[in-house]
Structure 1
Amino acid sequence: MVSVRAVPADLPDVDVLLDHYLDERAATFPVAQGSYRRKRTDPREFVPPHGTFVVAHDGEDAVGCGGLRRIDDDDEDVRFEVKHVFVEPAARGAGVATAIMDALERAAVDLGATSVVLDTNDSLVAAGAMYRGRGYERIAPYNDNPNATAWYRRRVG
């Protein structure tokens, strides 16, 4: 049974998960796009009321994570951005990413968001399909993330 709970983003379990995430992205990044740029978001950006960070556990094992941070509003919305959604390979296909996204979207509403945005890479086919299946729509780039090829938004609240 997977449980998801908010935690400080500077815990050792978070460091391990983010290292696995960044290692996997660097190893699988499309060669045609150049080199993957490893970058962690400052853990202070995931502190309420500016954001949150969650870890999914299967029993005592940390099997996934994701963060949510406030970014600048645009002309239409109070925006929060999803960052670093990752599920350990052995836990994939069991609904962990869905549980993480459910927790992040609930937190976004609780924190006053009117939309949630995220960026990803089109090479992450399953992630893109999950986001679109959750109602995220592709939008114009809202940042200059060199690792991203796709930007999405979902209205919430």
Structure 2
Amino acid sequence: MEIRKTDPTLPSLRSLIEGSQSHGAAATSAESDHTLGVAELSHPAVQFFAAFEDETALGCGAFKALRDGTAEVKSVFVSKAARGRGLAQRLMDHLASQAAEAGFSALVLETGSSLCPEYDAARALYERLGYAYCPPIEGYSADPMSAFMRISLPVKT
């Protein structure tokens, strides 16, 4: 399996991005759903990555540059067929590595709170990876449906 930077408009990635959007829409209210679509993932401030086995896309994730020198994790999603193989952790590790290499000081994210049981596994993964809960990040307000997390990245020397 290979994780590589890629173009979110590729037809082979459509089912992953649509799956991510469907998951977000089903898990929370429209005002609390911050899942990005293809247009937003194509923005120049976003770096988008996908995990491929041969040429089959199994999962994706992105980060978006924020004004404070951090990067926001976006759209981490693994296809149903690829779940249970540690791919979400591999994607998160890859995003952290790439964000550190790009000079970001930390990764931050918004995910569903404990009021959204569909996000229990995601929060548990982030906690295992060392993310700590924090106040709302740039572009968000406090929302009982949202949890905000942050992890510092190694300083690039």
Tell me the TM-score range normalised by the shorter chain. Answer: 0.7 to 0.9
Q: Which AA in structure 1 matches 2:101?
A: D
Stretches of 4+ moved more than 6 A in 1?
none
- Cα shift at 1:23: 1.4
Is 2:130 aligned against 1:132? no
CA RMSD of aligned residues (A): 2.2
Contact 1:52–1:107 at 8 Å: present in 2 too? no
- Unaligned runs of 5+ residues in structure 2 are none
Is 2:141 aligned against 1:144? yes
TM-score by length of 2: 0.82
Moved more, 132-141 or 12-21: 12-21
Q: Which AA in structure 2 matches 1:135?
A: G
Deviations 1:87-128 (A, max 9, x none): 011211101111111111111011111110001002201100
Percent identity over paired residues: 30
Task: Give the secondary-structure state (helix, strand or coil) at the position aligned to 2:25.
Answer: helix
- Unaligned runs of 5+ residues in structure 1 are none
- Cα shift at 1:148: 4.9
Task: Give the secondary-structure state (helix, strand or coil) at the position aligned to 1:42.
Answer: helix
TM-score by length of 1: 0.82
Where do 1:47-62 residues align within 5 Å?
47=44, 50-62=45-57
Deviations 1:50-107 (A, max 9, x none): 441110112321110000110120xxxx200100000011211101111111111111
2:106 equivalent among 83, 108, 115 = 115
